[in-house]
Amino acid sequence: MEYSTLGRTGLKVSRLCLGTMNFGVDTEEKEAFRIMDAALDAGINFFDTANVYGWGENAGRTEEIIGRWFAQGGGRRERVVLATKVYGEMHNPLEDPNNTPGLSAFKIRRHLEDSLRRLQTDHIELYQMHHVDWKVSWAEIWGAFELTVQQGKAGYIGASNFSGWKLMEAQKEAESRHFLGLVSEQHKYNLNCRLPELEVLPAAQHLGIGVIPWSPLDGGLLGGNALKKQSGTRSGRDAARIEKHRIQLEQFSGLCRELEVREDTVALAWLLANPAVTAPIIGCRTMEQFEQSLRAVEVVLNEEVLNRVDEIFPGPGGRAPEAYAW
C-alpha cells in the first residue's frame, strides 16, 4: 500500500480509504468485520464513516459495527485513522427541535459524544462536516470544533460537499482565530463527474486541503458490470443511466480491455493520478469488491492513456476561469 499525508498535515493515510456506508445496510456485520480485517492486512489505515450511516431508524448502526470491531482488540483501533461525520438528522422517537440537519455547537458536541460511544473510542482522527450549514456562523462552528480538538476528542477537522468558495471562506475564518481549520474535503468526484476540477480542486490545492473523492465509481456506473444490465442488480435498476452513458461506457470498456485492467481499477487509478487527490473512498459491499479495488494503487496510467480517458469522459476543460474564458 502507498501512503500520503492528509492535506498539509503530517498525518499519513493510505492512498485508498475504506468506506463503510454499506456496513449494516447491504453488508452484514460478520462480512464487515472480514473486510476491515482485510483492509488492515492490506495496509489500508484510513477508514471513513458517518453518524447517519445505517439510515433512518437504523442511523448509527454502522458506527456501532465499527465499535464492536474495535472492541475485539488486537491493535485494531490503534492502527486506524478514523474519520466520521456530523450534520444529518438522527432518529429520535421524542420530539426534539434540535434534531434537525445542521452544525450548531449544541449538535456538534452532542453528536460527537454519541459517535464516540458507538465507536467505542475516546477520540476521532478526522471529524468532518457532512454538508454546509448556511444558517450557522463560522464563529459558532469553529468555536465548537476548536473545543473538540483542545479536549483531544478530534485530531483534525474536515469538510464534505463544500464549494470552492466555501472552502476559502472557512479557512479565512479559521486563520482569523489562529486555528488550523480544514485539512480535507470529501467530494463527489469521478470520471463521470468532473465539475470539481473547475473550482473545488484548485481551491483545495491552494489551501493545502486534501481531497477525498466519494462515489469514485459513480454508484457502480464505472464498474465492469454496469453494461451487463443483470436483472435484479444495481446495474439493472440503473438502466436509464446506463443507456444515457452507453457510448462512453462501451468506449471505456474497450480501452480497459486493451490495458487488460478492470474498469473499476482504471477509474480509481485515474483519480490517484491527480495530485489534488489524497485517497478515493472504496465503498465495498463484499470482500470480492474490496479485493478488486486494491490493485488500483499498482496501476500507473501514462499520459497517452490519460489523454484517451479525457476524450471519452471530457472534463470541464481545466480550472476556472480558463475553462470557459480566455
Residue among 53, 87, 127, 156 flagged as catalytic:
53
Residues 6+ apart with CB under 8 A from 285: 22, 26, 27
Q: Would you say the C-alpha torsion 177, 183, 186, 191 has a positive or negative sign?
A: positive
* Cell numbers given for 57: 431508524
Determine the Cα–Cα distance for residues 239 and 58; give it in Å rounded to an integer. Answer: 29
3-state secondary structure (DSSP) of residue 282: strand
Q: How far is CA 302 from CA 94, 259, 299, in A?
A: 56, 11, 10
Alpha carbon distances (Å) from 119 to 80, 113, 146, 184:
12, 10, 21, 21
- Asked about 53 being catalytic, the answer comes back as yes
In single-letter form, the type of residue at position 199 comes to E
**Residue 48, phi then psi, degrees to nearest 5:** -120, 135
| Active site residue ranges | 53
